[in-house]
Structure 1
């Protein structure tokens, strides 16, 4: 999938043909257990390993502001998105939009079923790696016409990209060329629930800058 990212120096045109969703990526085992229980309340089974690397078709990536989903049971999750461009790692944000009804049957299939929105701006990972834990991910949804804070937390609660990459590659410190990985999320404030409007942000408190992306989900009717 061809994506374009604006950076401080240039525009990157990147072909992503290998998409990895790093699930259960928290550092705090108690927090992971909380998220597992949060999903278990929706009938979603426990993971077979922690962290767990789901594979999703790269053509599910999009930078569009509008996506289509089947039925009204899906929701977004803000995650950092790390990718290899020209032998260097960059970071952006993505939403691991997931069908929660299907997730109760198969997490892997539920992730494949939904498109994954990605922002169109990125930073060099090296520029923020020294204070990675201070970065904040947030998301908002619209409920009854109002924008509501849905997720918020520092990246200190999640494994670093280097740790997740090493776990996936067998010890290497960089993703293969053409690869992108989402790096875990934080819990939903008030519980996981569907929404058709989703705004996500990666905030850098030292440089007072943000990566943001908003998308709207058009619900397609389920027919049998």
Structure 2
């Protein structure tokens, strides 16, 4: 899947064009056992079984990635989750944000299939991981959903709540090929404020207060009819 990212002017004058052929969705990536249990509880509340281990790494088809402003989904029971998005290009890692958009009804039967069935929206900007590595824990992840015609804060937390990239990559690397050109990973999420629920529109951002910059993305969901 071809993705195009704008980098900060000091990094590149031209957009970065990459081809992703190996997409991994990392789940249950919290550092705090209580926070992980909270997120497991959120999902159990909507019928999702507990994971077999934490963290887990799901392979998802790379062609599910999308940088469009709208995505098509089946029915009205899907929802997004903002996540840091790592990708490997030209010998180094970059970071952006993605939404692990998921079919919540299907998730109660199979988490792996629920992740595969929905597009994974990705922002159009990225930073060099090396430029934020020393203050990774300070980065703030936020998302908003549309309810009653207004956008409401849905997620907010620093990346200190999630495992660091090196930790996730090391855990994934036990038994899997090493990251190479075309590798990308969504790195987990923070809890939903008020519980997981669907929305026709989703906004997300990754904010770097130290360098005073942010990566943002927004998309709408176009629900296709459920035909029996």
TM-score (structure 1 length as normaliser): 0.98
Q: Aligned pair 1:185/2:189, yes or no? A: yes
User: 3-state DSSP class of the match of 1:79?
Assistant: strand
Q: CA deviation at 1:208?
A: 1.2
- 1:32 is aligned to 36
The aligned counterpart of 1:18 is 22
Alignment correspondent of 2:203: 199
Q: Which residue of 2 aligns with 1:106?
A: 110
1:96: Cα distance to partner?
Answer: 0.1
Tell me the distance in 1 between the aligned counterparts of 2:41 and 2:215.
Answer: 30
- 2:220 aligns with 216
Corresponding position: 1:4 with 2:4: yes
**Deviation digits for residues 78-103 of structure 1 (CA, Å, limit 9, x no counterpart):** 00000001111000000000000000
Kindly state the Cα deviation for residue 171 of structure 1 after the two structures are TM-superposed.
9.2
Shift of 1:175: 2.3
Partner residue in 1 for 2:57: 53
- Mapped to 1, the partners of 2:227 and 2:191 lie a distance apart of 32
In the alignment, which of 76, 81, 84 is matched to residue 88 of structure 2?
A: 84
CA distance in 1, matches of 2:175, 2:46: 35
Q: Given the alignment, which residue of 107, 114, 127 partners 1:123?
A: 127
The separation in 1 between residues aligned to 2:98 and 2:170, in whole angstroms, is: 21
Unaligned ranges ≥5, structure 1: none
Shift in CA distance, 11/26, structure 1 to aligned 2, threshold 3 Å: same
Residue 164 of structure 2 corresponds to which residue in structure 1? Answer: 160
Residue aligned with 1:40, SS:
helix
Q: How many residues align?
A: 223
TM-score calculated relative to the size of structure 2: 0.96
Partners in 2 of 1:70 and 1:121 — Cα distance?
A: 28
| 2:45 counterpart (41, 45, 49) | 41
> Offset at 1:11?
1.2
Deviation >6 Å, runs of 4+: none
CA distance in structure 1 between the partners assigned to 2:180 and 2:67 by the alignment: 22
